[in-house]
């Protein structure tokens, strides 16, 4: 089973403006209550990370982390993950540790 993704620009903007965020050197994680009881994910990877191959690799890794760790992400929220340029050089384990630590920090508020 795949993850439910945020598709509309309007929804991304809403999470960016109204949501809370936490960041580290690799990622920025935004979270906003969605009132549905489910969880949705949006992943943003800019051209600053590199070419299309690199950006898609980072996007696939982040999507897989979200898919494999659903218990880490509380239901009822929209999550937007923004990859920073150093994320292009990291392996899957480092990205996983970074994202799960950010989720833990943001849900302890």
23 in Cβ contact with 99 (< 8 Å): no
Backbone angles phi, psi at 101, to 5 degrees: -70, -40
- pLDDT for res 107: 76
Q: Is residue 86 part of a domain?
A: yes
Residues 67 and 89: their CA atoms lie apart, in Å, by 21
Predicted confidence (pLDDT) per residue in 40-63, tens digit: 999 999 999 999 999 999 999 999
Q: Is residue 35 part of a domain?
A: yes
* Domain housing 64: 9-103
- pLDDT for res 40: 95
What integer is the mean pLDDT of 13-42? 94
Q: Is residue 2 part of a domain?
A: no
- Confidence band, pLDDT 50/70/90 cuts, at residue 20: very high
Q: Is residue 97 part of a domain?
A: yes
Domains in the chain: how many in total?
1
Question: Which residue in the block uniquely carries the two structure tokens 């898919």?
Answer: 67
Q: Is residue 19 part of a domain?
A: yes
Q: Is 75 left (phi over 0), alpha (psi -120 to 50) or beta?
A: beta
């Amino acid at each position: 089973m795949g993850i439910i993704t945020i598709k509309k620009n309007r929804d991304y903007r809403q999470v960016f403006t109204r949501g809370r965020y936490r960041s580290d050197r690799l990622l920025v994680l935004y979270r906003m209550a969605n009132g549905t009881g489910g969880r949705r994910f949006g992943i943003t990877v800019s051209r600053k990370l590199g070419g299309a191959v690199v950006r898609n690799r980072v996007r696939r890794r982040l999507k897989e982390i979200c898919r494999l760790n659903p218990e880490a992400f509380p239901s009822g929220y929209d999550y937007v993950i923004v990859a920073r340029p150093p994320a292009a050089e990291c392996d899957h384990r480092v990205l996983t540790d970074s994202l799960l630590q950010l989720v833990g920090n943001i849900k302890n508020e």
